[in-house]
Amino acid sequence: MNIVVCVKQVPDSAAQLTVEGGNISWGEAPLVINPWDEYAVEAALQKAGDLGGNVTVISMGKADETEALKHSLAMGCNEAVLISDPALAGSDNVAAARVLAAAIAKVDDVGLVFFGKQAIDSDTGTLPAQVARVLGWPTLTLVSAIDELSADGIKVERAIEEGRQVVKSRLPAVVSVIKDYGEPRYPSFMGIRKAARATIPVWALGELGIEAPAPVVAWPEVMAPQQREIATELITGGSPAEIAATLADKIMAEKVL
Amino acid sequence: MNFGLTEEHRMAQKMVRDFSQKEVAPIIQEYDRKQEMAPFILPRMGELGILGICIPEKYGGQGMDYISLGLACEELEAVDTTLRVVMSVHTGLCSMTIWQWGTEEQKQKFLVPLARGEKVGAGAFTEPGAGSDFSNIQATAKRDGDDYILNGEKMWISLASKADFALVTVRTQKNAAKPSGGLTAFIVDLTTPGVTRGDIHGKLGVRAGSTGWINFQDARVPAANRIGEEGEGFKVTMSAFDNGRYTVAAGATGLIRAALEASTDYANERKAFGRPIGQHQLIQSKIAHMTLNYEAAQLLYLKAGWLKNQGVRNTKETSAAKWFATEKSFEAANEAIQIHGAYGFSDEYNVERYLRNARGAVIYEGSNEIQQLIQASYALGERKDKALRMEMPAYEESV
């Protein structure tokens, strides 16, 4: 059984985002693999041996957006595919889920699909469940550990607000992983050399055999959040108890409590 | 002419940056204060392939080019000089010299474990009484059957107490026509009986690194460990410096960048006279100089790296890159302290560590006075590169 890992290319987290004329810009900041997706790639690479198959990394983006795919190849993924078609510009999550599901269906004998828990640009965290819904497969979100994995099924630990939840599922399934899964490996130099020379196949909608899905979400207006003035005051002098009392008075005076 | 880095270069650069920023930056101040080398650094750099970055795959390395070596050194020293020093001695002085001058048997025996990071290498040239005046070193080796017997002391040797092997140059002929003609190089297993070593404490900088001494007292070294012919030790050592200096130049460029980034961050944040200090022209002047010097230092080392890739001798270019980058890194760190004001004087900020670390590189790997003599001797026509019996191989992608 093979594994697919879906990755997204996003602006570097240190980028200064601005909004001009309704368009979001990150200036000259580099585009990188979504940091959460690195955990998904790590999970896929660790588990590939258990299923005895390859790891294919898939990304959806513009024709030249191969940075995240090459990073994943350099980490050790076997194959990479870019889904790119001008008709996909402005896709929302529902459209992206249909396109990714069609791409996953084109890969032979997929047992598991990995996602990072969310992308740092759109931050919805819903795509893994949406893709699973289109495929008709179970979805296991916010996974912190995979306890058992074989062709018969998967047993995972999910991090939820109340604590940990252990869940079993049949395969194929869609899994989104969180940071607790384990620190992603760095790309190896050998992997870098391979990735830099790789020609990444591009699948357009025609190759997926689908029409461009109509988006259901519209963005009538995009604006930068209003900046708030933050006043900082350092409470000095006196004993720790006196400083704490002064702090408590100020908190009460500001009606924070 | 193409000034752009390749995708491979950028990925390698990011990988080394991620390692040094994530794993070393958070702990380096603690080890600098303790004057100890963090124990994970050497094994981790070996495991990640950084130690063998530019050595061909067939000798256990990663098969990247010389520019990648420079970029890695820049990223490493942008966090701490200690990391780059490891590259200078393990990779530049020891591994690359064996690659250039070693026999196939020596490469298999010594280079392969060094490139894989299974063994650690050092370069032992300087002595208590001879640094810049290298041709007058006093340590000796005498032939005894299939061995040489080494005696003498080496001083200011990075990784002296950590390394498994050291490339050591000693005198084998006392009355050579030219003193430099009586020198011979050896690769020495530092566990050999008669070899003792230790660390030097109380250094101004590179405190999270390991610098020490190695003493040889009737240490028996197999003749099979001789690198090059008898009497070729000076040439072997100068070849080692061509690579060591390259790593120092690239690393010092990283230190300029670190000082610049610390300065711009602080200048945007700190206010004086009602506005961020970055809006004051005298602060801008300092930052402008750092920016210019960073760009120039990077161009100098990248040109040297490009020449290395072509297999062209680069003693002049590497020397210039080392001279410029180390001088400007000290200047940048000093100005960064000035920009930080009194805070820069304390170890609450990194810039005081940058200054202490930058100072050593103006002296070691050929003092900057020696670099000036090299530049002048080329310019005056007194010095010309002569073909070596063993040249540094050009970069070959598939090797």
3-state SS of chain B is CCCCCCHHHHHHHHHHHHHHHHHHCCCHHHHHHHCCCCCCHHHHHHHCCHHHCCCCHHHCCCCCCHHHHHHHHHHHHHHCHHHHHHHHHHHHHHHHHHHHHCCHHHHHHHHHHHHCCCCCEEEECCECCECCCHHHCCCEEEEECCEEEEEEEEEEEECCCCCCEEEEEEECCCCCCCHHHHEEEEEEECCCCCEEEEECCCCCCCCCCCEEEEEEEEEEEEHHHEECCCCCHHHHHHHHHHHHHHHHHHHHHHHHHHHHHHHHHHHHHCEECCEEHHHCHHHHHHHHHHHHHHHHHHHHHHHHHHHHHHCCCCHHHHHHHHHHHHHHHHHHHHHHHHHHHHHHHCCCCCHHHHHHHHHHHCCCCCCHHHHHHHHHHHHCCCCCCCCCCCCCCCCCCCC
The average pLDDT across B303-308 equals: 98
For residue A229, what pLDDT band results from cuts at 50, 70 and 90? confident
ipTM passes above 0.90: yes
Q: How many CB atoms lie within 10 A of CB B331?
A: 18
Give the residue numbers spanning the domain of A143.
2-208
Locate B327 and state its tokens: 């001088």
How far, in Å, CA of B218 to CA of B141, rounded? 9
Q: How many CB atoms lie within 10 A of CB A167?
A: 15
pLDDT at B399: 46
For residue A234, what pLDDT band results from cuts at 50, 70 and 90? confident
Pairing of strands A2-7, A110-116: parallel
Least confident residue range of A81-95, A196-210, B42-56, B385-399: B385-399
Q: Domain for residue A110, yes or no? A: yes
The average pLDDT across B212-238 equals: 98
Q: Domain for residue A118, yes or no? A: yes
Q: Domain for residue A20, yes or no? A: yes
pLDDT at A199: 96
Residue type, B147: D
Q: What is the pLDDT of residues A58-111, one digit of tens each?
A: 999 999 999 999 999 999 999 999 999 999 998 999 999 999 999 999 999 999
Average pLDDT, chain A: 93
The class of domain B238-379 in CATH terms is mainly alpha
Does the beta carbon of A80 lie under 8 angstroms from any beta carbon of chain B? no
Q: Which of A188, A189, A196 sits opposite B7 (nearest CB)?
A: A196
How far, in Å, CA of B146 to CA of B280, rounded? 70
- pTM to 2 decimals? 0.92
Q: Domain for residue A57, yes or no? A: yes
Residue B272: burial class (beta carbons within 10 Å; 0-12, 13-18, 19+): exposed
The average pLDDT across B364-371 equals: 94
Counting the structural domains of chain A, the total is 1
Q: What is the pLDDT of residues B380-399, one digit of tens each?
A: 999 999 999 999 999 998 64
> Which are the catalytic amino acids of B?
365
End-to-end CA distance of chain B: give it in Å, rounded: 25
Does the beta carbon of A71 lie under 8 angstroms from any beta carbon of chain B? yes
pLDDT at A222: 87
Residue A34, domain CATH: 3.40.50.620
pLDDT at B1: 82
Q: Where are the domains of chain B?
A: 7-119, 122-234, 238-379
The average pLDDT across B342-348 equals: 94
pLDDT at A226: 83
SS3 A6: strand
Q: Which residues pair with B383 in a beta bridge?
A: none
Q: What is the pLDDT of residues B84-123, one digit of tens each?
A: 999 999 999 999 999 999 999 999 999 999 999 999 999 9
**What is the dotted CATH code of the domain comprising B122-234?**
2.40.110.10
- Return the percentage of chain A with pLDDT > 70, whole number: 100
* Minimum Cα–Cα distance from B18: chain A residue: A186
Residue type, B269: E
* Minimum Cα–Cα distance from B11: chain A residue: A192
How far is residue A127 CA from its own chain's centroid? 9
A195 contacts B63? CB cut-off 8 A: no
How far, in Å, CA of B39 to CA of B20, rounded? 15
Does the beta carbon of B18 lie under 8 angstroms from any beta carbon of chain A? yes
Fold annotation for B7-119 = Butyryl-Coa Dehydrogenase, subunit A; domain 1 (1.10.540)
Does the beta carbon of B307 lie under 8 angstroms from any beta carbon of chain A? no
